[in-house]
Structures are given as structure tokens and as C-alpha cells.
Amino acid sequence: MKPTRREFIGSVSAAAVLAPPRPATPAAADDDPLGVRADFPVVEEGVYLNCAYIAPSPVPVADAVRKFHDAKTRSPLSLPAMMDEAAAARRKFGRLIGAAEREVGLLYSTTDGENIVARSLGLEAGDNVVIDDLHYQSTYVLYQRLAETTGVEVRVVSSRGGAAPVEAFAERIDARTRVVSVAWVSNQNGYHHDLKALAELAHDRGAYLSADAVQGVGMLDFDVKETGVDFLTTGTYKWLLAGLGVAAFYVRDELLDLVGPDRFGHLHVEESLGDYRYRLYDDARKYEYASLSFESVFQLSAALDYLHRVGVPNIERHTVGLAHRLQEGLTAQGHAVLTPRGNRSSIVALEHGRDADMVRRSLDEARIKVSFRAGDTQLRISPALFNNAAEIDALLDVTGAWA
């Protein structure tokens, strides 16, 4: 008997059905070490070294979005079919980070997850939270507000030479620390926090570890169980190669009862009990209170298929290697590199110390895209899986010409 559409989607990701993997185009190994450049039309537009800002999606992922739009135009998918794809995305993301499907929910942004965690902990005067000065701005806004409304103390660890080692956190954590919050990989300079050591430190002192992983997942190989992180949230438009409007949220199974939803809606219902009463989900689906951005869900599901096919360990080896090549070159040229030497991420930041208009013009003329930061005094450079050594050298040719 031929399976129904829903049965078929339940066994095979709808995103995979809509956009089958595209075969890699043969290329010279040194030009295309991961065999992916044919999937990224952005390489035809110049040298794109800006995935820490927004990553371009590969063609198979863009195809999934186009076919979702075609279906919306001609024969819209049913809600059950779209929810099946959301379940597939949760499973694929869980496999990417070593989590069970029940520990993964889908939110709208990275900041959603940290808000849910912070508001679940019952923070009060006398408690403290520990963050560092390499975190993303939203975290400071959140905890400043909680300090004003609850009296909780916010302790900020000062980085040293672009790094915030575990020892620096140990100086600020005590028996009243409720949560330690870090950006696993800093958006500022790419610093890679030691999550395992931070989790051990936090747990030894009765606190939780929460990680903003938007600059790490998809770039670095990672297992939440090995690190011991308690909560993790990540948008998907950077290293996960997907789009805006969906973010994956991990809560360690043992803490699902602690972290409740901060709003409620129809997607929370697991079973109708009659008389307008309902039994709600008790796993991470309880954070998905209303209709998701399903276009973004399909995009994420296809992107996760792509990342699993290429292999994040392969991506890490390649991109971190490019970052080290870049950092060594910049250092040899005498530039003030803000990223610690030997850091394990593919983000490198520097103070260019030159006229910003000249710097921007020279990069534009070379068709190289990077991020300008800190009032245009800094550059953040972030090679990705589709970049190669020749492109790093092209950037170094530009930076080396700045007298």
C-alpha cells in the first residue's frame, strides 16, 4: 500500500524531499577542500568572509525555501505536515549537538532562550548572575532589567588579552550565583570559551551554565552531554546556514521541569481533556506556544541535512585552519589582533588603526566582505566552509598594503 503524504514525511524529512542533496562539483582540492563551493553562489560575487554576521545559504537550502513557497502558492502544506518538519528539525539539531529530541525546542531568536531561562530561575535580591565582557549586547540588556526589577546582582568578568579564562570566572562565582551566562564563541573577537570547565565550575558552586551558541554551532564540533552545559540557544542564520525567524533551544532533560514556558498557546496542547481543559507537553515542545515561522523551519531542516552531509568536524578543521592562517599573517604584518593566539574558532578580529574610509574602499575594490565594528575602528573576519586559503591570502594582500 502506497504511504500517505503525512506517513512519508514522518519517515523522511519534508525538506529533504523538497530539496535533495546537490552533488558536489569536482574542483581542485586546495581550491575547494570540502567540495562545497559550487553550492554557494556567493563565491562568484567576491570574497565573502562575513558569516559571523549573516551566512549565505547553499543552493540546496535555498531550493527548499523556493519549493516551500511554490507549495504555498499552489497547494499549501497542512499544519500537521509542517509540524512533522519541525519535529524533523528538532531531531536533526539534537543529533548535531548530542541532545535528545525532547530536549530541543524551536523559538524565534537566540535572545528568546536566555529570557526564558532567566525568568524561570526565580531570581531575587541577594542572588547574582555572572557574565563576561565578551558577551552579546542582549544579555546585558536582559540582566540590567532584572537587576532593576528584582535586585539581583550582575557580575561582569573582565577579559584579559581578549580571553576570559575559567580562572577569571572563579573569582566572581559564589554560593549565591544562580547562573553563569556566556557567549560560547564571542561575537566580538571569536574567543572560544571552555564550556566544559565552566560547567564544572558552575555546578560545583550550585549554579547553572547557559550558553549563547549562535557563533559556534555549525562551525565547531560540539556535544552538550560532554560539556555539561545546562541551557543553550542559537539563532540559525549564521553558521547553521539557515534563515531568520527560528532558533533552536536546548534544555537539559533533568531541568525541563525547572524551566517553564513564559507564554501559552495552542501548540502546547498534547491532549484535549474535554470541558476546555488540556494536557500540555512536558518536553521542550512546551516552549513552542504558537505557529512557528515554518518557512524558516523548512530552511533550517534542509540546512541541517547539508551540515550533516558535509560534517561539522570537517568544517571545524577547515575554517579554524583558515582563521589561524589569517591570524598569523595579520600578526606578521604588525596588526593589532584582538583574538587570542591559537583560539579555536573561525572568527578573527583586529583594530586596523587606519582611516576607516580608506580601509573600506580598499576592501570594496578587492570585493572582500567583512564586518566593520566599534565605530569602524575594528574589523571582524569570519571564514566559512566555502572559503579557501587563496581568499585568505587575498585579504592579507589588502591588509599588507595599508601603510
Question: Crossing angle for the helix pair 389-400 and 312-332, nearest 10 degrees?
Answer: 20
Tell me which residue has cell 545559504: 57
For the chain, give the mean pLDDT. 92
Q: What's the CA gap between 3 and 21, in Å, rounded?
A: 23
Kindly state the helix (H) or strand (E) to which residue 232 belongs, with its residue range.
strand 231-235
Kindly state whether residues 381 and 348 are assigned to the same domain.
Answer: yes
> Are the C-beta atoms of 313 and 303 separated by less than 8 Å?
no
Q: Is residue 377 part of a domain?
A: yes
With 60 as the cut, is the pLDDT of residue 46 above it? yes
As to burial, measured by CB atoms within 10 angstroms (0-12 exposed, 13-18 middle, 19+ buried), residue 251 is buried
The answer on pLDDT for 20 being more than 80 is no
Taking the CA atoms of 341, 344, 346 and 347 in sequence, report the sign of the dihedral they define.
Answer: negative
Question: Which bin fits 241, alpha (ψ -120 to 50), beta or left (φ > 0)?
Answer: left
Looking at the domain assignment, is residue 25 inside a domain?
A: no
C-alpha–C-alpha distance, residues 107 and 224, integer Å:
19
Percent of the chain with pLDDT over 70: 93
Q: Same structural domain for residues 106 and 208? A: yes
For residue 67, is it within any domain?
Answer: no
The C-alpha cell that represents 381 in the structure block: 573576519
- pLDDT more than 90, % of the chain: 91
- At residue 122, does pLDDT exceed 80? yes
What burial class does residue 137 get, using C-beta atoms within 10 Å of its C-beta: 0-12 exposed, 13-18 middle, 19+ buried? exposed
Q: Which of 274, 308, 342 is the last residue of a domain?
A: 308
Amino acid at 116: I
CATH number of the domain residue 123 falls in: 3.40.640.10
Instruction: Please tell me whether residues 229 and 142 are part of one structural domain.
Output: yes
Same domain, 117 and 210: yes
- CA gap 311, 198 in Å, rounded: 26
> Would you state the pLDDT for residue 366?
98
Name the phi and psi angles at 239, rounded to 5. -70, -10
202 alpha carbon, distance to own chain's centre: 22
Q: Work out the average pLDDT over 8-18.
A: 42
Please check whether residues 174 and 275 belong to one and the same domain: yes
* Residue 34: other Cβ atoms inside 10 A: 21
- The reply to whether 341 falls in a domain is yes
Which residues make Cβ contacts (< 8 Å) with residue 279, sequence separation at least 6?
Answer: 269, 270, 271, 272, 273
- Output DSSP code: residue 102: G
In this structure, the answer to whether residues 329 and 259 fall within a common structural domain is: no
pLDDT of residue 381: 98
Structure letter (DSSP) for residue 192: B
In a domain, 55, yes or no: no
Regarding whether 249 and 350 lie in a shared domain, the answer is no
Give mean pLDDT, residues 351-356.
Answer: 97
pLDDT at 1 over 50: no
The string of pLDDT tens digits covering residues 264-280 is 999 989 999 999 999 99
Section 14-43 average pLDDT? 67
Give the end of a domain, one of 247, 277, 308. 308
Inside any domain, residue 107: yes
CATH number at residue 363: 3.90.1150.10
Q: Are residue 141 and residue 182 in the same domain, yes or no?
A: yes
How far is the first Cα of the chain from the last one, in angstroms, to the nearest whole number? 73
pLDDT surpassing 50 at residue 9: no
Structural domain includes residue 10: no
Number of domains comprising the chain: 2
Q: What is the pLDDT of residue 29?
A: 52
Residues 162 and 229 in one domain: yes
Domain extent, residue 345, equals 312-400
- Are residue 251 and residue 214 in the same domain, yes or no? yes
- What is the per-residue pLDDT for 315? 98
If asked whether residues 299 and 237 sit together in one domain, one would say: yes
Residue pLDDT, tens place only, 70-79: 999 999 999 9
Of 255, 286, 308, which residue sits at a domain end? 308
Is 30's pLDDT higher than 90?
A: no
CB 13 within 8 A of CB 301: yes
Q: Alpha carbon of 255 to those of 66, 180, 284: distances in Å?
A: 38, 15, 10
C-alpha cell at 66: 523556493
β-pairing verdict for 277-280 and 47-48: unpaired
pLDDT in tens, 145-180: 999 999 999 999 999 999 999 999 999 999 999 999
184 falls within a domain: yes
Residues 301-331 pLDDT 10s: 999 999 999 999 999 999 999 999 999 999 9
pLDDT band for 22, please (50, 70, 90 cuts).
Answer: very low
Rg (CA), the chain: 22
Q: Are residues 375 and 298 in the same domain?
A: no
- pLDDT interval class at 3 (50, 70, 90): very low
Q: Check whether 16 has a pLDDT greater than 80.
A: no
